[in-house]
A and B are shown apart, each in its own frame.
Chain A
Amino acid sequence: MWFVFLSSGSALLQTFTEEQMKRYEAFRRSGFTKSKLKKVVAKIVENQKVSEEINIVVSALAKMFVGDLVETARVVMTEWQHTGPIRPCHIKEAYRRLKLEGKTFKRTVPPLFR
Chain B
Amino acid sequence: MQNPSPSPSPATATGAPTNPTTTTGATTNKGKAPASAAQHSSAEASLKRKRGFFQKDLQHMMYGFGDDANPLPETVALVEDIVVEYITDLVYKAQNVASKRGKLLTEDFLYLIRKDLPKFNRCKELLSMNEELKQARKAFDVSEENLATANDQV
Q: How many residues in A have their beta carbons less than 8 Å from beta carbons of B?
A: 70
A26-B64, A107-B27 are known contacts. Are A57 and B89 too (CB-CB below 8 A)?
Answer: no
Question: Which residue on chain A has the smallest CB distance to residue B29?
Answer: A108
Among A29, A92, A106, chain B packs the most CB atoms within 10 A around the CB of: A92
A17 contacts B by Cβ under 8 Å: no
Known: A40-B87, A66-B61. A32 touches B54 (CB 8 A): yes
Q: Which of B11-49 contact A (CB under 8 A)?
A: 13-16, 18-19, 21, 23, 27-32, 39, 42-43, 46
- Bound CA span A50–B105, Å: 9
Residues B64 and A30 in contact, CB atoms below 8 Å apart? yes
Q: Are B119 and A61 in contact (CB under 8 A)?
A: yes
Q: CA separation between A32 and B83, bound complex, in Å?
A: 11
Chain B 88-119 interface 0/1 with A at a Cβ cutoff of 8 Å (1 = within): 11111101000000011110011011011011
Given contacts A31-B61, A45-B91, A108-B30, contact A66 B119 (CB under 8 A): no
Interface string of A35-46 (1 = CB under 8 A from B): 011001101111
Tell me if A62 and B83 are in contact (CB < 8 A): yes
CB distance from A73 to the nearest CB of B (A): 8
What number of B residues sit within 8 Å (CB to CB) of A? 74
The CA of A64 and the CA of B67, in the complex, are separated in Å by: 14
Chain A binding surface, main DSSP class = helix
- Are B54 and A81 in contact, with the CB atoms below 8 A? no
> Do A62 and B86 have beta carbons less than 8 Å apart?
yes
B127 at the interface (CB under 8 A from A): yes
Asked if A91 contacts B63 (CB within 8 A), the reply is: no
Chain A residues within 8 Å of B3, by CB: 77-78, 81, 83
Q: Which residues does A use to contact B, with CB under 8 Å?
A: 1-3, 22-33, 36-37, 40-41, 43-46, 48, 50-54, 56-58, 60-67, 69-71, 73-74, 77-81, 83-93, 95-96, 102-108
Please name the 7 residue pairs, one residue from A and one from B, whose CB atoms are nearest each other, closest first: A27-B64, A26-B64, A85-B68, A30-B60, A70-B65, A105-B89, A30-B61
Q: Contacts A36-B54, A77-B1 given; 10 further ones with Cβ under 8 A?
A: A3-B122, A31-B61, A40-B87, A43-B46, A57-B109, A61-B119, A85-B71, A86-B71, A88-B75, A105-B92
B residues whose Cβ falls under 8 Å from a Cβ of A? 1, 3-4, 6-7, 9, 13-16, 18-19, 21, 23, 27-32, 39, 42-43, 46, 53-54, 57-58, 60-72, 74-75, 78-79, 82-84, 86-93, 95, 103-106, 109-110, 112-113, 115-116, 118-119, 122-123, 126-127, 130
